[in-house]
A and B are shown apart, each in its own frame.
Chain A
Amino acid sequence: QSALTQPASVSGSPGQSITISCTGTNSDVGAYNYVSWFQQHPGKAPKLMIHDVSGRPSGVSSRFSGSKSDNTASLTISGLQAEDEADYYCSSYIGSSTVIFGGGTKLTVL
């Protein structure tokens, strides 16, 4: 099973919105509504930002939202802030009680 496909990098200016895509197949992203997004700052552990495609854990800013269309999930960050600069990873359930991650996307706030 290959990793989910994410763009290597995205960038945006403060206040703008950006979207990070996560492309899989009809055996993973397309088959289940179990897609999560994680934020990871350098040298830190990942943090859950979105679960089950569009669910937002308590304490996560409403500027973060998730969606899915066919085999592609997306993370949108609105009102970009300097503190959002980090690596972002998507993850999907792929059946047989297993999980897979995307390759990660580096977000730069200009």
Chain B
Amino acid sequence: QVQMVQSGAEVKKPGASVKVSCKASGYAFTMNYIHWVRQAPGQGLEWMGWINPNSGATNSAQKFQGRATLTRDTSINTAYMELSGLTYDDTAVYYCARGIMTTTPMLSPWGQGTLVNVSS
């Protein structure tokens, strides 16, 4: 079955960077975009961006442009989201999800989520 498995929880200091991984299985990795979405504690979902694993092309929400870097390694079917210049407001659960239809919000399945805690 299709699965997205993410890396474990992270604790980072303000100003640091974090890199979250998302390993896909059960389908041809380069055939579907991977989207990143985050959820601050007790808050709603916030779309961050996507990567096309085939070409490496990316697109991000304006809020994250210049701070979020989306990459992939097709040899191990893994996508990465690196967020730099962390602030306390970046404390959140970060999810990856397969985009069934490229850039539309037809996202399934989702990874289990990775908690990033920004703390001094």
* Partner-B contacts on A (CB < 8 A): 1, 3, 34-36, 38, 40, 45-48, 51-52, 57, 89, 91-93, 96-104
State whether A99 touches B45 (Cβ < 8 A): no
Contacts of A99 in B (CB 8 A): 35, 47, 103-105
State whether A93 touches B112 (Cβ < 8 A): no
Once the chains are docked, how many angstroms separate the CA of A96 from the CA of B103? 9
Count of B interface residues, CB-CB < 8 Å: 25
The 8 Å CB contact of A89, one of B35, B44, B109, is B44
Nearest chain-A residue to B111 (Cβ)? A45
Contacts of A45 in B (CB 8 A): 95, 109-113
Nearest chain-A residue to B49 (Cβ)? A98
State whether A97 touches B45 (Cβ < 8 A): no
**Number of contacts between A and B (CB, 8 Å)?**
76
Once the chains are docked, how many angstroms separate the CA of A89 from the CA of B43? 11
User: How many whole Å from B63's CB to the nearest CB in chain A?
Assistant: 9
User: How many whole Å from A51's CB to the nearest CB in chain B?
Assistant: 4
Classify the secondary structure of A's interface with B.
Answer: strand
* Partner-A contacts on B (CB < 8 A): 35, 37, 44-47, 50, 59, 61-62, 95, 97, 100-101, 103-113
Contacts of B62 in A (CB 8 A): 1
State whether B110 touches A92 (Cβ < 8 A): no
State whether A101 touches B103 (Cβ < 8 A): no
Once the chains are docked, how many angstroms separate the CA of A59 from the CA of B61? 31
Contacts of B61 in A (CB 8 A): 98
State whether A102 touches B108 (Cβ < 8 A): no
4 nearest interchain CB pairs?
A: A91-B105, A48-B108, A45-B110, A97-B103
State whether B108 touches A93 (Cβ < 8 A): no
Beyond contacts A34-B105, A93-B104: 10 other A-B pairs, Cβ-Cβ < 8 A, are A36-B106, A38-B45, A45-B111, A45-B113, A47-B109, A51-B101, A91-B45, A99-B105, A102-B44, A103-B44
